[in-house]
Amino acid sequence: LSILLVTYNHEKYIRQALDALFKQVIDGPVQLVIADDGSSDGTLNIIREFEGSDPRFTFKYLMNDGNLGITKNYQRGFSECSGEY
């Protein structure tokens, strides 16, 4: 299973989204692809707090210094997902 998380300055909401994700009943490994579109707030710091907290999840970060825009950010994120689902 691959889950794509696209972010851009989501510091206010990202913890709630990740808490909900990590509470899901999922059997087996989960690849979490984080496509950050150049956040300038604490979004990535919050995401990193979750890394290693649940052995089901592996994190793959796609960083960007500038802002690609939502469409290109999704496209690059989808291309990095390797799960069957």
**pLDDT tens across 7-19, in order?**
999 999 999 999 9
Give the angle subtended at the CA of 63 by the CAs of 71 and 42, to the nearest 5°.
100
On whether the pTM is more than 0.85, the answer is yes
pLDDT given at position 3:
97
**pLDDT tens across 34-77, in order?**
999 999 999 999 999 999 999 999 999 998 878 888 899 999 99
Where does 1-85 show beta strands of DSSP type E? 2-7, 30-36, 57-62
